[in-house]
Amino acid sequence: MNGKLRWLGLSFVEFTTADGKVIYFDPWVKSKGNPSCLLEIDDIKSADLVLVSHDHEDHIGSASDLCKNTGAILGGPTETMWRLMDEGLPKELVSNSGSGYLVGGGIEMDWVKVVATPAHHTSNTSCAIGHIVIAADGTTLYHTGDTSLTAEMAIYAHLYPLDIVLLPIGGGGTMDALQAAEAVRLMNPKKVMPMHFEWNPEPLKALEEFIGLCTMKAPQVEIIRPISSQYIDL
């Protein structure tokens, strides 16, 4: 497992691979409303790939601008890609010749493989998804997107043994701390970073509850406490 990880608020995450490629998940910057993000879109100078899980504003709000500014390729659910192209995103910046992908599909490049997984959540234009990313050196990261606990998580973790999982813990529209801790037990990654807890009425309490439950259910898994904009060496 190699590379660097940076949580940027809610589900907005930056992953830098061992060979220096930069992937952003669910980008949503400070001025668009992200309560924990310290960055504006112009602070991001380079990106190679942007992956979105669904079309809610707090997950795609900065995706098109980020791709236009950096030339990064955008990946995500098919109809969501069509919506963003209708809104002005050039087709050449969208994966798979503008079609995106659905669950079970994804992207293959010479430096990364992306697999779309099921996510139980709503989306106005397509199904919601998660992303498993396998870098050229084999480092495997799973950004679940907004989802409940699902049995499929264990199947995907069997197919693609996971180095690190990023998953929501806030409840309401996603799994809560108890369900998230059980998801970690099912997937058994080497590391986990909780995210998407800011909408909980008591976000810090939710975070501490997850850490306690995860320590009980999966003591072998290292828990990375999210601190906005702090780089974590993997």
Residue numbers of the chain with a pLDDT score lower than 70: none
Segment 136-148, tens digit of pLDDT: 999 999 999 999 9
For the entire predicted model, the pTM comes to: 0.97
Listed by start position, the domains of the chain span 4-233
CB-based burial, 61-100: b 16+ in 10 Å, e otherwise: bbbbbbbeebebbbbbbbbbbbbbbeeebeeebbbeebeb
Instruction: State residue 86's pLDDT score.
Output: 97
Please name the CATH architecture into which domain 4-233 falls: 4-Layer Sandwich (3.60)
Burial class of residue 54 in the structure, from the number of CB atoms within 10 Å of its CB (0-12 exposed, 13-18 middle, 19+ buried): buried
Segment 35-49, tens digit of pLDDT: 899 999 999 999 999
The answer to whether the Cα torsion of 29, 31, 35, 38 is positive or negative is positive
Segment 194-234, tens digit of pLDDT: 999 988 889 899 999 999 999 999 999 999 999 999 999 99
Question: Are 84 and 61 spatial neighbours (Cβ–Cβ below 8 Å)?
Answer: no
Pairing status of strand 164-168 against strand 140-143? parallel
Instruction: State residue 34's pLDDT score.
Output: 87
Instruction: State residue 201's pLDDT score.
Output: 86
Task: Select from 220, 218, 210, 154 the least CA-distant residue to 187.
Answer: 154
